[in-house]
Amino acid sequence: MAREKGVVLLDFWVSPFGQRVRIALAEKGVDYEYKEQDLFNKSEHLLKSNPVYKKIPVLLHDGKPICESLIIVQYIDEVWSDKAPLLPDEPLARANARFWADFIDKKVYECGTRLWKLKGEEQEAAKKEFVEIFKLLQGELGDRKFFGGETFGFLDLALVPFVAWFYAYETFAKFSMDEECPKIVAWAKRCMERESVSKTLSDPNKVYEFVLFLKEKFGVEY
């Protein structure tokens, strides 16, 4: 089968999962073709490339698909290993980075979604949980510049795309990340000084508008 050479990313503009991959590719200086997907009308290409989950992001490298954002990022780290290593070298540090990236994957997006979908007591509970999640992450960060230490790495890029959603979450659930987790906000600002991050993350206002659109589409009162 003739395989198209090069790197293609099937993605959706506001997806924090897709943005992880974009940041990784930018950090490594990899040229790629970005293909925006319509998630409400999925293309044959997407369905064929990710038959199991039918989701973005999907990275196609010389025509071969890789799915699941953190798996894609690790693949990128292994293939383009000469530049900007994302995972640390040492097995224990790698395990620690994977543990926290998995924690972020299990908790942040799902809890964040409840923040804008729910109201009243349920929303309050989700807010409490959300703050707890980030306080734990703040504890892990400690006084370091990045989760990776002196250098921006795997765990930083696993988390940073969600920062663009803070404004939407804060507005809907009425709280302030700056008040609750100032170290995380400070860390986020440091990440945004990197071009790979500032060029990739969505404008928080656009994320807010997108969530409004979702609320309307899925009939959630706001």
Residue number with CB closer to another protein (26 or 60)? 60
The span from the CA of 95 to the CA of 87, in Å, is 9
Within 13-72, the residues that bind another protein by CB under 8 A are 52, 61, 64, 66-68, 71-72
Q: Minimum distance between the CB of residue 109 and another protein, rounded to whole angstroms?
A: 14
Interacting residues with another protein between 105 and 144 (CB under 8 A): 136
Give the helix/strand (H/E) hosting 78: helix 69-79
Min dist CB 98 to another protein, Å, is: 5
The answer to whether 73 and 157 have CB atoms below 8 angstroms apart is yes
d(CA 69, CA 20): 7
Distance CA 155, CA 37 (A): 26
* Residue 184 is a binding residue for another protein (CB under 8 A): no
Closest CB 161 distance from another protein, rounded Å: 19
One residue of 98, 117, 145, 190 binding another protein per CB under 8 A? 98
CB nearer to another protein: give 157 or 168: 157
Q: Are 69 and 22 in contact (CB under 8 A)?
A: no
What is the 8-class DSSP label of residue 212? H
Say how far apart CA 150 and CA 165 lie, in whole Å: 25
Contact indicator for 7, 31 with CB cutoff of 8 Å: yes
Instruction: Using the rule CB under 8 A, give the single segment among 95-103, 116-124, 156-164, 194-202 that binds another protein.
Output: 95-103
Please give the size of the binding site for another protein, defined by CB under 8 A: 22
Residues at the interface with another protein (CB under 8 A): 52, 61, 64, 66-68, 71-72, 74-75, 78-79, 91-92, 94-96, 98-99, 102-103, 136
